[in-house]
Amino acid sequence: MGAVKSKRMPRAVREQQMMDAAVRTFGQRGYRAASMDEIAELAGVSKPLVYLYLNSKEELFTACIQREAKALVAAVRSGVEPELPADRQLWAGLRAFFTHTAKNPDGWAVLHRQARTHGEPFATEVMVMRDEIVAFVTGLIGAAAREAHRDPALPDRDVAGLAQALVGAAESLAGWANDTPGVSAKEAAATLMNFAWAGLENLMHGRPWLPPSQLAGQR
Amino acid sequence: MGAVKSKRMPRAVREQQMMDAAVRTFGQRGYRAASMDEIAELAGVSKPLVYLYLNSKEELFTACIQREAKALVAAVRSGVEPELPADRQLWAGLRAFFTHTAKNPDGWAVLHRQARTHGEPFATEVMVMRDEIVAFVTGLIGAAAREAHRDPALPDRDVAGLAQALVGAAESLAGWANDTPGVSAKEAAATLMNFAWAGLENLMHGRPWLPPSQLAGQR
Amino acid sequence: MGAVKSKRMPRAVREQQMMDAAVRTFGQRGYRAASMDEIAELAGVSKPLVYLYLNSKEELFTACIQREAKALVAAVRSGVEPELPADRQLWAGLRAFFTHTAKNPDGWAVLHRQARTHGEPFATEVMVMRDEIVAFVTGLIGAAAREAHRDPALPDRDVAGLAQALVGAAESLAGWANDTPGVSAKEAAATLMNFAWAGLENLMHGRPWLPPSQLAGQR
Amino acid sequence: MGAVKSKRMPRAVREQQMMDAAVRTFGQRGYRAASMDEIAELAGVSKPLVYLYLNSKEELFTACIQREAKALVAAVRSGVEPELPADRQLWAGLRAFFTHTAKNPDGWAVLHRQARTHGEPFATEVMVMRDEIVAFVTGLIGAAAREAHRDPALPDRDVAGLAQALVGAAESLAGWANDTPGVSAKEAAATLMNFAWAGLENLMHGRPWLPPSQLAGQR
DNA sequence: TATGAATGAGCATTCATTCAT
DNA sequence: CATGAATGAATGCTCATTCAT
């Protein structure tokens, strides 16, 4: 199960082993509670080698964040076919997302829990990736709205808020699916589609929910 | 700006000062990175006094979690009138929630980010509170479904998933509203209602979104 | 069993309560490990009062040593009748000694274990008392030697060494008797008399044990 | 006087240096009063290195106790020739004992004063060694009793008490010899043999000292 | 007489980080 | 390429001691 301990491996391989160990340790213990000793031991190398390759705890953590972020974005992207209608794209993206986070719980913990918890400069790293995903979702919602021939279009600001809500719900459900035995990636995706898409459709077709004070005039 | 440094205060007062400082420090730095020295200094007292009153870092953190959880639940409760229809109850609850988290960003950070990130025994404390809120939302969705004379009723399991998604989205939007200048509590609440309620209504009236493979037969 | 907690007691009484608590705590925990908090609590008073009456931990410990030393010497003295022959005086003294140490294990622990373990200035306090007892025993041995019409007399230096050995053996047996269930004061005293007196008699009558190198000429 | 401060020594050597420093510090100050800072400084290393090699203050103290106990037992053992008659074995053992304690006053203080004073788990460590020595002495007394064709034999319980007294006297004399200038190991051993052996011989030949109440019938 | 409130100083322990080989 | 040896700088926690009432 553990990596076979062998000497003289190429640098790239060793680096990946170290980062595997680091992601696991950071994901489970958190940034502060993870010790370089533990990471080095788990990676099967000496501590100075970790420093030789990755310079410092901070850089190591940053490298982990970047690697995991890249992997997550790649997974979502590779699940989506841009030709399909918006809801099927979203459905595919969510399934890829929940599948990836379920298969990489430590990586997901690093991105979602640890990186955002331990302040600058780590939070920024994740924000870049998150914004990329938010932009993708924003694009989908906009496209759907256009498909629905909605006129006037949903204000950009509203679209942004909805995308944030959707991505937030997805993040939260990912944690829930990982922590709740018996919840599959597909089920989590379906729950979210049910929760979100029908609501989005109503919006797109000009049937928003309105606060009570505005009920009189508009509903 | 800071409280006037005065000596010899009754224990109850000092304890609140210490916990204020602790919530702020824990919320911003995280459990591990926060030092008792910093907390004591921010509270304007010496470290031994913090230990005399609050015993240990762990107990102090737990006390913070409990105080903030109680305050949040109380805020949401006091915003809701149980006589109103389900959507207006939810609307009121969300406004109270976003208002409270906006006014207590550090308390919210302690509950949402730090407590859940730093493992047992802290996570459990928050779970109790969170489950209470999830149960409240679950009740609302169930009530709404009954009001809509839905038959057959939404399966319990689906309701649970939806409640999780809604609460998760709310938690995420709270962070977003806190971090994005110009987003008011009311706006966040409206975004979430729009996102969630219309979708819930579709579900309640038996119009779920269905994955592509089932489209042929069911839609 | 514990002291009844009542306010406004005369100083002398309070002081004794504090010293009782202190002797017990010092005896069981040791000088360093005993905390003023624990002593004050055990005495049923507040810490500042302990300081008001006894000034400092060091003075408190010294006071304990002196009180217990006085009590021990008084106990031994009161058990001895100076008219009796030397062996019966010693026998009476030893019984009184073992009886007292058995009834005051904490006091004895303070004197024998703690005071001598924690360096100056405490060791000196005990030495004064110990030397008094050694002098008493030295006197007895000398008297016995004269009774035996020993001529030439035992050299003073030998007598001193023997007294040291006897007192040391007594101290050690006191600990042994306290720690070994079922060993009475009388039994400990008898063991020591058997061990010591017969040997002393041989010496007094000019039949010393001699090291091997001197055997040829003297035995 | 002090060892030349040199860096980069093999672990085994450094460990001995640390334990030398620890024995000295613990012996003079006591377990609680000794600080790891002081030990590290005396050993000429930094504190983390002490922890790296010896894990904790408690383990360090235990390691000291075990090292010193082993050394003391080895010293006594190597001084004894099992072929000799009992009194000469005892004489040889005592000389070895007093010689060793005189050469290692701090080690002896650790074993005799500090370890037994500071409760579990340290006291147990010393007890093991002490019981070994008591057993050795018990064996000698028993052998001597048989050599003396004593019949009926001395009861086991009496032999045990005598061995305790002898070992206790030896321990006490070791402290006395260390603290009293001009008392050699040989002298201390001779004093104890004089004090003890002649008395033992009386016992072995059936001439015990009896308490006054029993004099009438038995002497 | 008696105490609740408060602290300066110290201690065991840990950790990220660097040399010398 | 790889590591055993080593440390400066915190950090959680405790304790003897004092002050204001």
Which range of A17-26, B185-194, D73-82 scores highest in mean pLDDT? It is A17-26
Lowest mean pLDDT among A3-7, A52-56, B75-79, B117-121: A3-7
Closest CA to A180 of C180, B15, B164: B164
Which range of A104-113, C8-17, C203-212, D144-153 scores highest in mean pLDDT? It is A104-113
Tell me how close the Cα of D90 comes to any Cα of chain C, in angstroms.
11
Task: Give the pLDDT confidence score for residue B6 in this predicted structure.
Answer: 57
Closest CA to A24 of A3, A53, A55: A3
Task: Give the pLDDT confidence score for residue C219 in this predicted structure.
Answer: 39
CB contact under 8 A, A196 and B199: yes
Closest CA to B80 of B122, B128, B8, B143: B143
Average pLDDT on C171-196 reads 84
Q: Which of A204, A209, A215 to mutate to test the interface with B (most CBs of B within 10 A)?
A: A209
Give yes or no for a contact between C98 and C177, defined as CB atoms under 8 angstroms apart: yes
pLDDT confidence of D214, banded at 50, 70, 90? low
Please state, in angstroms and rounded to a whole number, the distance separating the CA atoms of residues A155 and A206: 12
Q: A210 or D136: whose pLDDT is higher?
A: D136
Please state, in angstroms and rounded to a whole number, the distance separating the CA atoms of residues B198 and A200: 8
Give me chain B's average pLDDT, please: 85
Q: What is the DSSP letter of C212?
A: G
Closest CA to B179 of B92, B73, B108: B108
Task: Give the pLDDT confidence score for residue A213 in this predicted structure.
Answer: 65
Residues of B in contact with A171 (CB under 8 A): 168, 172
Query: CB neighbours (10 Å) of residue C95?
Result: 21
Which residue of chain C comes nearest to D187, CA vs CA?
A: C161
pLDDT confidence of A152, banded at 50, 70, 90? low
D145 touches chain C (CB under 8 A): no
Dihedrals phi, psi of B5, to nearest 5 degrees: -75, 110
Task: Give the pLDDT confidence score for residue C33 in this predicted structure.
Answer: 93
pLDDT confidence of C180, banded at 50, 70, 90? confident
Find the nucleotide nearest A54 (Cα to C1′): E17
Token pair recorded at residue B150: 């839905």
Please state, in angstroms and rounded to a whole number, the distance separating the CA atoms of residues B21 and D24: 45
pLDDT confidence of A190, banded at 50, 70, 90? confident
Average pLDDT on A201-212 reads 72
CB contact under 8 A, B173 and A164: yes
A153 touches chain B (CB under 8 A): no
Average pLDDT on D169-178 reads 86
Residues of D in contact with C199 (CB under 8 A): 194-200, 202
Distance of CA C194 to the CA centre of its chain: 20
HSE toward the beta carbon, residue D50, CA cutoff 13 A: 26
Give yes or no for a contact between D190 and D98, defined as CB atoms under 8 angstroms apart: no
HSE toward the beta carbon, residue D16, CA cutoff 13 A: 5
Token pair recorded at residue D17: 């240096």
Asked whether the predicted pLDDT for residue B14 surpasses 50, the reply is yes
The CATH T-level fold of domain C1-55 is: Arc Repressor Mutant, subunit A (1.10.10)
Q: Which residue is nearest to nucleotide E15 (CA to C1')?
A: A35
Residues of C in contact with D192 (CB under 8 A): 165
Tens digit of each residue's pLDDT (9 = 90 or more) over C134-155: 888 888 877 777 776 665 566 7
Task: Give the pLDDT confidence score for residue B153 in this predicted structure.
Answer: 64
Please state, in angstroms and rounded to a whole number, the distance separating the CA atoms of residues A26 and A29: 5
SS (H, E, C) chain A: CCCCCCCCCCHHHHHHHHHHHHHHHHHHHCCCCCCHHHHHHHHCCCHHHHHHHHCCHHHHHHHHHHHHHHHHHHHHHHHCCCCCCHHHHHHHHHHHHHHHHHHCHHHHHHHHHHHHHCCCCHHHHHHHHHHHHHHHHHHHHHHHHHHCCCCCCCCHHHHHHHHHHHHHHHHHHHHHHHHCCCCCHHHHHHHHHHHHHHHHHHHHCCCCCCCHHHHHHHC
What 3-state class would DSSP assign to D215? helix
Asked whether the predicted pLDDT for residue D199 surpasses 90, the reply is no
Token pair recorded at residue D46: 């930094």
C192 touches chain D (CB under 8 A): yes
Max CA distance (Å), chain C: 76
Residues of A in contact with B166 (CB under 8 A): 169, 195
B207 touches chain A (CB under 8 A): yes
CB contact under 8 A, D209 and C192: no
Task: Give the pLDDT confidence score for residue A4 in this predicted structure.
Answer: 45
Which residue of chain C comes nearest to D113, CA vs CA?
A: C117
Phi-psi category of C182—alpha, beta or left, where left has phi over 0 and alpha has psi -120 to 50? left
pLDDT confidence of D211, banded at 50, 70, 90? confident
HSE toward the beta carbon, residue B118, CA cutoff 13 A: 27
Which range of D1-15, D91-105, D175-189 scores highest in mean pLDDT? It is D91-105
What 3-state class would DSSP assign to A120? coil
Asked whether the predicted pLDDT for residue D62 surpasses 50, the reply is yes
- Domains of chain A, by residue range, sit at 1-55, 63-207
CB pairs under 8 A between C and D: 150
Please state, in angstroms and rounded to a whole number, the distance separating the CA atoms of residues D16 and D38: 16
pLDDT more than 90, % of chain B: 42
Please state, in angstroms and rounded to a whole number, the distance separating the CA atoms of residues A2 and B75: 49
HSE toward the beta carbon, residue C82, CA cutoff 13 A: 3
Chains A and B touch (3+ CB pairs under 8 A): yes
Distance B54 CA to E4 C1' (A): 16
Tell me how close the Cα of D22 comes to any Cα of chain C, in angstroms.
16
pLDDT confidence of D54, banded at 50, 70, 90? very high
Task: Give the pLDDT confidence score for residue B31 in this predicted structure.
Answer: 95
A124 touches chain B (CB under 8 A): no
Tens digit of each residue's pLDDT (9 = 90 or more) over C13-48: 889 999 999 999 999 999 999 999 999 999 999 999
Task: Give the pLDDT confidence score for residue C150 in this predicted structure.
Answer: 60
Q: Which residue is nearest to nucleotide F21 (CA to C1')?
A: B8
Residues of C in contact with D164 (CB under 8 A): 172-173, 176, 191
Give yes or no for a contact between C5 and C92, defined as CB atoms under 8 angstroms apart: no
Question: Which of residues 86-145 of C have CB within 7 Å of strand F?
Answer: none
Task: Give the pLDDT confidence score for residue C213 in this predicted structure.
Answer: 65
Q: Which residue is nearest to nucleotide F7 (CA to C1')?
A: D46
Please state, in angstroms and rounded to a whole number, the distance separating the CA atoms of residues C109 and C139: 27
CB contact under 8 A, C113 and D114: no
Continuous segment of H or E residues that includes residue A146: helix A122-147
Question: Which of residues 9-38 of A have CB within 7 Å of strand F?
Answer: 9, 11, 14
What 3-state class would DSSP assign to B5? coil
Residues 70-109 of A with CB under 8 A from B: 87-88, 91
Q: Which residue, chain included where needed, has tokens 């001598």?
A: C116
Taking the complete model, does pTM exceed 0.75, yes or no? yes
Distance of CA B62 to the CA centre of its chain: 16
Give yes or no for a contact between C125 and C66, defined as CB atoms under 8 angstroms apart: yes
Give yes or no for a contact between A33 and A118, defined as CB atoms under 8 angstroms apart: no
Please state, in angstroms and rounded to a whole number, the distance separating the CA atoms of residues D141 and D158: 10
What burial letters (b/e) apply to D7-37, b meaning 16+ CB within 10 Å? eeeeeeebbeebbbbbbbbbbbbbbbbbebe
What 3-state class would DSSP assign to A181? coil
Tens digit of each residue's pLDDT (9 = 90 or more) over D99-119: 999 999 999 999 999 998 998
What nucleotides of chain F have any atom within 7 angstroms of a protein Cβ? 1-21
Lowest mean pLDDT among A172-186, C46-60, C117-131: A172-186
Task: Give the pLDDT confidence score for residue A191 in this predicted structure.
Answer: 83
Closest CA to B70 of B19, B3, B6: B19
Residues of C in contact with D126 (CB under 8 A): none
Residues of A in contact with B85 (CB under 8 A): none
Continuous segment of H or E residues that includes residue D14: helix D11-29
Closest CA to C92 of C165, C195, C179, C193: C193
Please state, in angstroms and rounded to a whole number, the distance separating the CA atoms of residues C181 and A2: 55
CB contact under 8 A, C171 and D172: yes
Asked whether the predicted pLDDT for residue B198 surpasses 70, the reply is yes
Asked whether the predicted pLDDT for residue B69 surpasses 80, the reply is yes
Query: CB neighbours (10 Å) of residue B102?
Result: 16
Tell me how close the Cα of B148 comes to any Cα of chain A, in angstroms.
16
Please state, in angstroms and rounded to a whole number, the distance separating the CA atoms of residues C29 and D118: 8
CB contact under 8 A, C165 and D161: no
What 3-state class would DSSP assign to D35? coil
Distance of CA A19 to the CA centre of its chain: 19
HSE toward the beta carbon, residue D71, CA cutoff 13 A: 19
Please state, in angstroms and rounded to a whole number, the distance separating the CA atoms of residues B166 and B138: 10
Closest CA to A197 of B209, C153, C58, C115: B209
Token pair recorded at residue C175: 């600990």
Chains D and B touch (3+ CB pairs under 8 A): no
Q: A203 or D114: whose pLDDT is higher?
A: D114
Q: What is the DSSP letter of B128?
A: H
A63-207 belongs to CATH 1.10.10.10: no
pLDDT confidence of D219, banded at 50, 70, 90? very low
Q: A153 or C127: whose pLDDT is higher?
A: C127
Task: Give the pLDDT confidence score for residue C5 in this predicted structure.
Answer: 47
What 3-state class would DSSP assign to D62? helix
CB contact under 8 A, B30 and A30: yes
Kindly determine whether the C-beta of residue C52 is less than 7 Å away from any atom of nucleic acid strand F. no
Tens digit of each residue's pLDDT (9 = 90 or more) over C44-89: 999 999 999 999 999 999 999 999 999 999 999 888 888 888 788 8
Q: Which residue, chain included where needed, has tokens 């030439």?
A: C152
Q: A179 or A169: whose pLDDT is higher?
A: A169
Continuous segment of H or E residues that includes residue A196: helix A185-204
pLDDT confidence of B150, banded at 50, 70, 90? low
Asked whether the predicted pLDDT for residue B62 surpasses 60, the reply is yes
Q: B82 or C47: whose pLDDT is higher?
A: C47
Could you check whether D1-55 and D63-207 share the same CATH topology? no
The rounded radius of gyration (Å) of the Cα atoms in chain B is 21
Give yes or no for a contact between A112 and A102, defined as CB atoms under 8 angstroms apart: no
Kindly determine whether the C-beta of residue A45 is less than 7 Å away from any atom of nucleic acid strand F. yes
Prior bond to A121 cis, omega within 30? yes
CB contact under 8 A, C198 and D202: yes
Task: Give the pLDDT confidence score for residue B217 in this predicted structure.
Answer: 42
What 3-state class would DSSP assign to D152? coil
Average pLDDT on D140-153 reads 70
